[in-house]
Amino acid sequence: MRSYKIHVFLFRCLILVTIDSVSAGHFVKTRCNESATLPCKRKCSGLVKWVKTHSRDDVIAQCDQTSCSSEEGYEMSHAQYLKGDLSLTITAADYSKRSWYTCQCEGKDVCDVRLSMERVNFIREFDPGDSLTVDLPISERVKITFNRSGDDGTQSSVTLCTVEGRKVHCSPEYEKRTSFQSSLTLSDLKLSDGGVYTVWDTENDEIIATHTLSVTGKIRTKCVEGEQVPSWVVGLCWFCLGLVLGIFLHCFVLPSILNCCDRDKKKRAKNSERDCSTAEKNDDSTEIIQLNTVRVESL
């Protein structure tokens, strides 16, 4: 009995030593493009390295008694290292940096930290006939699920699509309305498409984003409202309008003006001839009167 207690005591001591030498895993969450610090408080007088747990040959950052060095996007403080703070800072976290990270002191693991990204939540409202675009910012296999409400108020979940690389598999109910390039698009939205769309990272069992969608309002026509017309189209329209207006003026308005001017010119010419003939007649009459007057005086 006494021997059994000694063995239990020694086993507990071994567990405490192990826990002291290797810290329990930490989990750090951050937002995309924001900085994140992976904590590790340990005294280490020798070489410290940070590596990705699944790829230990690639050193991300390291420090020794003289200096620190790191890959782009990662930082370690030499001053903090000397104080026993071996934390690693990721300057701008993104989805490619999600992983388990391990800190090593003289080749021994002392800290394990998991970096993950906070889910992004969208609340969006559309009209029937619009399209929903879901961004897929990771290269791992993802699943888009749709939680919808039935007419009786019950909730049900369906898998809209799964995407792995460039391969897309969608539910037959949505297959004809979905398309994929760098993001997934569900077109011709209906009132029944309202609900919560969730983007799952199936490899790491994490939710990347949620899209809470409501479909309300009147059906729009195929012409996109509020779409900005390119400047070259506007310029072409003005050119065509000016060309048509110029042809109209040249073919119809200008000839009419010229004919009007010509008629007015001919009318003036006739009036001038008439005035001249009248003046000549008046002159002849005056001469006759003057001759008659002379004859009378001579008599």
Of 215, 237, 265, which residue constitutes the final position of a domain? 215
Residues 135 and 165 reside in one and the same domain:
yes
Q: How far apart (Å, rounded) are the C-alpha atoms in residues 202 and 184?
A: 17
Q: Are residues 106 and 182 in the same domain?
A: no
Is 281 within the bounds of a domain? no
Handedness of CA 78, 80, 81, 82 (dihedral sign): positive
Establish if 87 belongs to a structural domain. yes
Residues 99 and 152 in one domain: no
Structural domain includes residue 283: no
Strands (E), the chain: 26-30, 36-38, 48-52, 55-63, 68-70, 74-75, 88-90, 99-105, 108-117, 120-126, 132-135, 142-149, 155-164, 167-170, 178-180, 183-186, 195-201, 206-215
pLDDT, position 10: 43
pLDDT given for residue 277 in this prediction: 60
**d(C-alpha 50, C-alpha 27), whole Å:** 16
Residue 189, in any domain of the structure: yes
Judge residue 89's burial from the number of C-beta atoms within 10 Å of its C-beta, 0-12 exposed, 13-18 middle, 19 or more buried: middle
Check whether residue 58 and residue 134 sit in a common domain: no
Domain boundary among 79, 95, 117: 117
Q: Are residues 58 and 85 in the same domain?
A: yes
The sign of the torsion formed by the CA atoms of 52, 57, 60, 61 equals positive
Query: How far, in Å, CA of 46 to CA of 223, rounded?
Result: 68
Instruction: Name the stretches of the chain with pLDDT < 70.
Output: 1-25, 150-153, 218-234, 264, 267, 269-299
User: What pLDDT shows up at residue 260?
Assistant: 72
pTM (2 d.p.): 0.59
d(CA 253, CA 204): 77
For residues 73 and 132, membership in a common domain is answered with: no
Q: Establish if 180 belongs to a structural domain.
A: yes
DSSP state at residue 41: B
Do 47 and 82 lie in one domain? The reply is yes
Provide the CA 115 distance to its chain's centre, in angstroms: 26
Rounded CA gap, 194 and 192, in Å?
5
Residue 287 lies in a domain: no
Residue 86 in domain: yes
DSSP β-ladder status, 183-186 and 132-135: antiparallel
Burial group, residue 61, by CB count within 10 angstroms (0-12, 13-18, 19+): buried
pLDDT at 154: 73
pLDDT for the residue numbered 51: 96
Q: Is residue 138 a contact partner of residue 202, using CB atoms and an 8 Å limit?
A: no
- CATH number of the CATH domain containing 71: 2.60.40.10
Q: Which residues form the domain of 140? A: 120-215
pLDDT at residue 278, as a whole number: 58
Kindly state whether residue 139 falls inside one of the protein's structural domains. Answer: yes
Residue 127 has which token pair? Answer: 């009209």
Same domain, 113 and 129: no
Same domain? For 126 and 110 the reply is: no
Look at residues 186, 215, 244 and tell me which one is the last residue of a structural domain.
215
**Domains: count for the chain:** 2
Judgement on whether residues 78 and 100 belong to the same structural domain of the protein: yes
Same domain, 131 and 197: yes
- Please, which residues have CB within 8 angstroms of residue 121's CB and are 6 or more apart in sequence? 209, 210, 212
Per-residue pLDDT at 230:
61
Answer yes or no: do 182 and 195 share one domain: yes
